[in-house]
Structure 1
Amino acid sequence: MWISQAPALALLLIHWVFGQKPPVSETGSVICKLQGTSAQPALSKQGDFLIGGIFAFHYDFILEQNYTRHPLPLQCTGRFLSFFSLSRLYSRELRFARAMEFAIQEINNRLDILPNVTLGYQIYDSCGTLPMAVKVAFQFANGLDPGFIIDPSCQAVAKVAAVIGDSNSTPSIGIARLLGLFRVPQVSHFATCACLSDKRQYPAFFRTIPSDHYQAAALAQLVKHFGWTWIGAIRSDSDYGNNGMASFLKAAQKEGICVEYSVAFSSSNPHSKVERVAEIIRSSTSKTIVAFTNAIDIRILMEELTKKTTPLFQWIGCEAWLTDPEVLKFGELAGALGFDTFNCRLNLSAVNVPYTDTSQLRISNMVYKAMYAIAHAIHGVVCKDNENQQPQCNKNTVVQPYQVLEQLKKVNFTTNGYPVGFDSNGDPVPTYELVNWQESEDGTLHFVTVEVPVSVCSVSCHPGTRKAAQKGRPVCCYDCLPCGEGEISNETDSTDCISCPDESWPNSQRDECLPKLVEFLSLDEVLGIILAVCSIAGACMVAAVAVIFYRHRTSPIVRANNSELSFLLLFSLTLCFLCSLTFIGQPSDWSCMLRHTAFGITFVLCISCVLGKTIVVLTAFKATIPGNSIMKWFGPPQQRMTVVCFTSVQALICTLWLVLSPPFPIKNMSLYKERIILECNLGSAGAFWAVLGYIGLLAFLCFVLAFLARKLPDNFNEAKFITFSMLIFCAVWITFIPTYVSSPGKFTVAVEIFAILASSFGLMACIFVPKCFIIIFRPEQNTKKHLMGKVPSKCKIHIPRAAPINVLQ
């Protein structure tokens, strides 16, 4: 219906655009009939050149649903304002209009811009609706061509050089579509829809406020900065709200922000729709709401939310309502965050009245800059510089709108210290400031720093965990799972855990890879110290025994027990004790080769000496049989040769081992995941077991021979003690094999050292300790007669009848 009420003269313009002549009567007069009535300007002033203004002084219009009489003119109403104020006018829009008046008055008084030229204006009320805005745009589009004006009733309402307005995006889109057909420039101060940057659809549109494209991206970054990844979204069901929210949601998705709900509503919707939106907000789990609405819609929603108990939310607003003083009367919006254009204040007056309140002149300055941009464009059309570089303007110049349009594209000046200009899309350079309103106890609004609220679907996954998406829910809803063994995450909200390098292991929090603990049997730990002390103590005890034997080397008990083999056995025992020290400390190439070969050779040397002593005992008693000359075949040279031969075999095995596949140090990382075991790899397991097998073979042979000689007659039968020592030796090494195989890490080395020390102590205790006891504490038994069985022994050993001989002369 609103189309039928637009001025009929626009039809004549359309005919003119398409090259058609208007209809005429038989007398040649132009037939002109207006449909409806023209809108009357709310504010106007005559001038040489007129500037149009469109502002929403009211919020809606009354449309009579009566088809039985001539339609009444559209009437604006401010019924939505009654909840907030006694005034029926939207004071903010009236302030914009006054800013336009002020700018025109200031320009008319200046000598550097349009000197001797007076600008006038006609400002209309769009009622905040598209129909009224388009109706006014039709009136602005009327020309003043004399060929069309015959009937005075068809005179154009105004001839405007440019239009300022509207404040809202939806009316601005309708105005821009219409004025763009006739290239009448339009400069908006508050229409931020990104769609208006499309010059193919809106060739004559400019604005002094940045596009929502930048504001939406800034809001998404703001939400991400505070960690609000779980939000709700509401918007006006209009071009401004829908396009702005679409840009925000696209930017939010790139920032990893999840939206619990996104709903649209409008002040023109039934009240039940607003109630549903309010219930969605109350029942939501998100604590942050991004509202891309105009001031009217947010007021209606807040009025509905205050009717019932509603949780507190962190509101993120757009510039359309964030600085509206009427909206900020709602305490529920305290703490709202958003962006507004930066450095946009006029130095008009310090008087604190509604129309000159400098704290609310952010958008008014956009009107001010728009008016100055149009003035500079008109100046470029009607003025030229004279010889003195002074502008001279011809106010009688017929200014066509398209001329002003072309000059607007070139505008580039500075006002109040800030540049004004337009890019190829008719947009200014975007610059924002962050707004955070807080209400004090006295009701005044000011900026404060407050604690940041939390609005997430799932709490952040701290380092050491990873995010696991919850099935069927948005990506912002997830569970935090600890990283697996050997894995870390060193970032908050990590989606994956990374494996530590081979020689590293996670700390207890699993947020850092630390070098693995290197483990080996060292002298810095108790076990290593104990074993080293035992080894040195054993060697010292052997040295003490050697000293005792040497000091009593002429005594019968030393001579009767083959002193040469005894000293060689003491020497080998000393090496056995000391070789265990090579197993303590960090493994190296030399220590790995030395520890096993030294152990093998020294023990064979030791067992060879014991075996030699056993053979001597047997042959000595065989020699007492008349006619038996066995001793001359096993005298001292043969005894030495026996020891050398048995030891040489082991030396050959060890040499082949070192040449073909020597032991070497390795880092064992398979035994423990969190530790590195430094150990010696055998190189050739066969060689190692051959060394042990050879020692075992000699020990078994020695045990058998000693066992056979255990009942030979003698007050001090050494074969019995050798038997005991071999029993201990064999028991230790038989137990060693399964223990060695099953012991982990450094305990494998400790088991081997223990076996060496235990068997060494066993040999020393069984073979030498009884002799030392007699030498020191029973010297009366250290006589040749006693050893030959001439003196009764206190020991329960039968004295042999055959006369013993000295087995080693």
Structure 2
Amino acid sequence: MWVLVVWLFMLQPHIMCEAHVVRCGIRDPQPTVFDYYQSGDHFIGGIATQSYILASSTEFHQPPSQEKNEERLLVTKNYQHVLALVFAIKEINENPKILPNITLGFHIYDSCFYASRIYQVTLQLISTRRRSIPNYKCDIQDNLIAVIGGCRSETSSKIANVLGIYNIPQLVYGFASGMTDKTHGFSIYGIVPKEALQYLGIVQLLLHFNWMWTGFIADNNENAERFVRKMLLVFLQRGICLAFMQIYPDLGFESAVVDMVKWMEETYEKVMNSAANAVIFYGESGSMIVLRNLLCVPEMEETVPKPKCKVWILTAQIDLILSDYQRSLDIQFIHGALSFAIHSSEPQGFEEFVGSRNPLKAKEDGFIKDFWRYNFDCEFLNEVPGEGKGYICTGAEKLERLPGAFFEMRMTGYSYNIYNAVHAVAHAVHAMYLFKSKSESVISGEKRNHLYLQPWQLWQLHPFLKRVSFNNSAGDKVSFDENGELEGGFDVINWVTFPNQSFVRVKIGKMEFWAPPDQVLTITDEAIVWHKGCNQVQPLSMCNEKCHPGYRKKIKEGEPFCCYDCIPCPEGKISDKGDMADCFQCPEDCYPNADQSFCFQKVVSFLSCEESLGVSLAVGALSFSFITVLVLGTFVKHHETPIVKANNRSLTYTLLISLLLCFLCALLFIGPPGDVICLLRQTSFGIIFSIAVSSLLAKTITVVLAFMSTKPGSNLRKWVGKRLANSIVVFCSLIQVGLCTVWLVISPPFPETDMHSVTEEIILECNEASPTMFYSVLGYMGFLAIVSFTVAILARKLPDSFNEAKCITFSMLVFCSVWLCFVPTYLSTKGKYMVAVEIFSILASSAGLLSCIFVPKLYIIVLRPELNIKEQLISRKA
């Protein structure tokens, strides 16, 4: 596909921003021979891609001539692949610990990324040198032990079709998905990490930056189809959607220009108008030019729009490679991109080796002169006369001055793979000979005739190659898994470009297959340089704005699941993170905040003596208790006075004691409820209050009977006395005691934790267990109060000197008013305030009884003692 694109822009140069193509026939006197040879006891074959042959279909109307009408596009950056292999061979031959007394040679060909050329050079590797006659030993035949190649999957597949027949090990230094399976036999070894790890890395990278809405552009080949097929399923599982997916069009020669321009315009519009600011670009080693031409669309227009914040995510197959005709192309388009890269280190001495290359001395190197011509724009003396370049190649030109898009001094990922592949073969051969040396002195050099391996003996090398494991000179471990793939990882790099066509690959993270699942990808966010349109801020790539905490996602009808609306959480539920699919309830001991984004811990609530309300009520209860004790003491001190003796002195003491207990009973409601407290609270309150009201009822009945018995002929005199009053108190109180006993036996109150009544509180309370019994006790107490109130009203007009009916009337009026207000107030409050209402009602009603009945008597006893005499009472009666 890349060849077709180059041909397209060669045919229509006005489509390119800047473009021209060099004809190989003019500048290369022998365009069909591009190789590099060095002899040795064993030799390793290399098939590199240094150039691309551009050719169109031809119809032959007569026998074709031997002259080839081909054009070759040189990619000078790939020359480092050749140097990496040569450097590795040199390093091994100089190392006495690996294959001593045995030298390795090499024979490197240029495949030109052309099918016929690939098959031709593969056959030449297994034939007598310079003759494509396999299976025959016509002359001195080199001892081939392995082949390293190629850079792209199409090239590797064609090489494997030939080498698989001879079982010759092939080490693929580029990505060749699926080639290490049984389809091509067992002779394929991938010297690159598993591509599946890269799929995982892309997903992890998108999730790391929360880029859930992405675009995808891919090459039109089997690898891209495999990539799309696997990635779409993973994307769906991890909640990632594709805003668009563009595949290079499968163009024919007649419609190439129109269709390609149309596709580029359509794709550019989709990329720039989409909310997906992260775009995955999948291609091969030379696909960078497609991305450059795609982004070149606005440059064809009169006005260039302001660059938008788009982050390109590149696969490890892609490298920044420019050919001779692309010298002046701007590489700023790749600035800020994120890319996976084959992990590479720098072997010691490689840069010095590359810097020492001289085209005038490297006679066997069939690549270096073309590389030198194209990069330094010069010609070699007496080789191409009449060109008029004006500059002669001296060999003293400095390679480090070349832009990185044309050549790099530091070892690239593909070159590092080649370097490791050569060392893997050398270690495997060394291990094989060590194994053989147990029975014969092979390595010692005494039997040099045994060094030669026949082609049918190459299968012996495979077991050693599969188990090879070593640390190279850079300190990295090299070994293969059971599928013949390298056990390694990827680097994550950030592309930083400069106006002078130089660039820097900044390593910002890595992927390691041996790491735990949550640590496979590590990224250093602070080291990233974003695209200029992003203003150095991490871009967002989502279909819509992220839902804030307190909201949940609602899928839009007819849209991908990554597109959604944000709606508030229902009442009582929260979402504590952004973009949550659903809201959830807080735990029972927590409650949501106003924004429904966080759960607060509920406060344990009960009426405590440490808070102001509890302290106030406790002080009130104790104060009234103290007052009651004073009143009781005063009455006991003056128990022989007429006013104390009037209206049954024992009932007065009973009433005062019951009122004292009523005040103290209020203290049971303050503090955390326990089992015993819950049993005593309502029952003691009901019984004590029943005794107090029964005492008032007995006083009232006693007053009525006393005055009715004074009438002539009345038979009620025998009922007047302490026995009747005590009987009334005991009888009425026993009924309440019975009710409370039944309550405690059938369904006793118990302590309870109420989580739901008050949103922000956990209420510690006493559960009455049986509301019927509770209201029965309360109702009976009310019944006694009403009876007492009724009788007191009937007796209110009796003589004042002996009559307490008016005081009882007022006291019961207060009592009934308090408890009538208590019921609705009690039912409308929750938690500790409900308890406070009951305490207040107890204190208020008890204080009402105490004040209405005993304050007038205390006034006479304490302040007007002259009135507290029998004569005064009789005179008042008269």
Give the C-alpha shift of residue 618 in structure 1: 2.0
1:9-43 Cα offsets, whole Å, 9 max, x none, are xxxxxxxxxxxxxxxxxxxxxxxxxxxxx983212
* Other-structure match for 1:806: none
Q: Is the 8 A contact 1:116 1:393 kept in 2?
A: no
Q: Partners in 1 of 2:864 and 2:133 — Cα distance?
A: 153
User: What pairs up with 1:355-374 in 2 under 5 angstroms?
Assistant: 357-373=408-424
* Other-structure match for 2:56: 63
* Other-structure match for 2:171: 187
User: What pairs up with 1:556-705 in 2 under 5 angstroms?
Assistant: 556-628=642-714, 630-705=716-791
Counterpart pick for 1:206 among 179, 189, 203: 189
Q: Partners in 2 of 1:389 and 1:98 — Cα distance?
A: 28
Q: Partners in 1 of 2:285 and 2:764 — Cα distance?
A: 74
* Other-structure match for 1:17: none
Deviates more, 1:129-138 or 1:764-773: 129-138
Q: Partners in 2 of 1:148 and 1:628 — Cα distance?
A: 154
Give the C-alpha shift of residue 62 in structure 1: 2.4
Deviates more, 1:370-379 or 1:780-789: 370-379
* Other-structure match for 2:311: 314
* Other-structure match for 2:286: 296
Q: Partners in 2 of 1:459 and 1:402 — Cα distance?
A: 65
Counterpart pick for 1:545 among 631, 635, 639: 631
1:264-291 Cα offsets, whole Å, 9 max, x none, are 2279764323333322221221121222
Residue 522 in 1 paired to residue 515 in 2? no
Residue 222 in 1 paired to residue 177 in 2? no
Counterpart pick for 2:830 among 727, 739, 744: 744
Deviates more, 1:354-363 or 1:282-291: 354-363
The normalised TM-score by structure 1 is 0.80
Q: Partners in 2 of 1:362 and 1:669 — Cα distance?
A: 63
Change (3 A) 1:649 1:343: same
Counterpart pick for 1:434 among 492, 495, 503: 492
Change (3 A) 1:141 1:564: same
Q: Partners in 1 of 2:270 and 2:752 — Cα distance?
A: 66
Change (3 A) 1:364 1:502: closer
* Other-structure match for 2:332: 331
Q: Secondary structure at the match of 2:350?
A: coil
1:711-738 Cα offsets, whole Å, 9 max, x none, are 2233564222222222222233333333
1:307-340 Cα offsets, whole Å, 9 max, x none, are 4234232222222324658899622322332333
Q: Tell me the amino acid that sits aligned with residue 346 of structure 2.
A: R
Q: Is the 8 A contact 2:647 2:802 kept in 1?
A: no
Q: Partners in 1 of 2:830 and 2:132 — Cα distance?
A: 110
Q: Is the 8 A contact 2:804 2:853 kept in 1?
A: yes
Q: Secondary structure at the match of 1:290?
A: strand
Residue 43 in 1 paired to residue 27 in 2? no
Give the C-alpha shift of residue 70 in structure 1: 4.2
Q: Tell me the amino acid that sits aligned with residue 95 of structure 1.
A: Q
Q: Partners in 1 of 2:104 and 2:681 — Cα distance?
A: 110
Change (3 A) 1:409 1:551: same
- Unmatched runs of 5 consecutive residues or more in structure 1: 1-37, 79-87, 791-799, 804-809
Residue 238 in 1 paired to residue 221 in 2? yes
Q: Secondary structure at the match of 2:752?
A: strand
Q: Is the 8 A contact 1:382 1:393 kept in 2?
A: no
Q: Secondary structure at the match of 1:683?
A: coil
Q: Partners in 1 of 2:651 and 2:428 — Cα distance?
A: 123
Counterpart pick for 2:350 among 348, 351, 371: 348
Change (3 A) 1:118 1:620: closer
Change (3 A) 1:261 1:512: same
Q: Tell me the amino acid that sits aligned with residue 40 of structure 1.
A: T
* Other-structure match for 1:277: 267
Q: Which has the higher contact order (CA 8 A, sep 6+)?
A: 2
Counterpart pick for 2:105 among 119, 144, 159: 119
Q: Is the 8 A contact 1:232 1:262 kept in 2?
A: yes
Q: Is the 8 A contact 1:199 1:425 kept in 2?
A: no
Q: Is the 8 A contact 2:82 2:108 kept in 1?
A: no
Q: Tell me the amino acid that sits aligned with residue 62 of structure 1.
A: A
Q: Secondary structure at the match of 2:189?
A: strand
* Other-structure match for 2:873: 787
Give the C-alpha shift of residue 392 in structure 1: 5.4
Change (3 A) 1:348 1:753: closer
Q: Secondary structure at the match of 1:300?
A: helix
Q: Tell me the amino acid that sits aligned with residue 264 of structure 2.
A: V
Q: Is the 8 A contact 1:57 1:94 kept in 2?
A: yes
Q: Secondary structure at the match of 2:840?
A: helix
**Root-mean-square deviation (Å):** 4.1
Q: Partners in 2 of 1:630 and 1:777 — Cα distance?
A: 36
Q: Secondary structure at the match of 2:351?
A: coil
Deviates more, 1:535-544 or 1:403-412: 403-412
Q: Partners in 1 of 2:778 and 2:728 — Cα distance?
A: 19
Q: Tell me the amino acid that sits aligned with residue 529 of structure 1.
A: V
Q: Tell me the amino acid that sits aligned with residue 544 of structure 1.
A: L
Percent of aligned pairs with the same residue? 35
* Other-structure match for 1:176: 160
Q: Partners in 1 of 2:469 and 2:701 — Cα distance?
A: 120
Q: Partners in 1 of 2:469 and 2:447 — Cα distance?
A: 19
Q: Partners in 2 of 1:683 and 1:396 — Cα distance?
A: 101
Q: Tell me the amino acid that sits aligned with residue 204 of structure 2.
A: Q
Deviates more, 1:140-149 or 1:315-324: 140-149
Q: Tell me the amino acid that sits aligned with residue 332 of structure 1.
A: F
The normalised TM-score by structure 2 is 0.74
Q: Tell me the amino acid that sits aligned with residue 161 of structure 2.
A: R
Q: Is the 8 A contact 2:36 2:109 kept in 1?
A: yes
Change (3 A) 1:66 1:761: same
Q: Partners in 1 of 2:196 and 2:70 — Cα distance?
A: 32
Q: Partners in 2 of 1:520 and 1:634 — Cα distance?
A: 49
Change (3 A) 1:369 1:715: closer
Counterpart pick for 1:91 among 76, 85, 95: 76
* Other-structure match for 2:367: none
1:664-703 Cα offsets, whole Å, 9 max, x none, are 2222345335433333232333333332333233222222
Q: Partners in 2 of 1:660 and 1:419 — Cα distance?
A: 80
Give the C-alpha shift of residue 203 in structure 1: 4.2
Q: Is the 8 A contact 1:382 1:394 kept in 2?
A: no
Q: Partners in 2 of 1:633 and 1:398 — Cα distance?
A: 142
Q: Is the 8 A contact 2:700 2:808 kept in 1?
A: yes
1:145-194 Cα offsets, whole Å, 9 max, x none, are 99999x9xx9999996654322111222223224424445433322x021
Give the C-alpha shift of residue 769 in structure 1: 1.3
Q: Tell me the amino acid that sits aligned with residue 43 of structure 1.
A: D
Q: Partners in 1 of 2:433 and 2:807 — Cα distance?
A: 133
Q: Secondary structure at the match of 2:218?
A: strand
Give the C-alpha shift of residue 759 in structure 1: 2.1
* Other-structure match for 1:18: none
Give the C-alpha shift of residue 90 in structure 1: 0.8
Q: Is the 8 A contact 2:286 2:321 kept in 1?
A: no
Q: Partners in 2 of 1:129 and 1:628 — Cα distance?
A: 141
Q: Is the 8 A contact 2:129 2:141 kept in 1?
A: no
Give the C-alpha shift of residue 643 in structure 1: 2.4
* Other-structure match for 1:531: 617
* Other-structure match for 1:445: 504
Q: Partners in 2 of 1:632 and 1:74 — Cα distance?
A: 150
Give the C-alpha shift of residue 515 in structure 1: 5.1
Change (3 A) 1:614 1:410: same
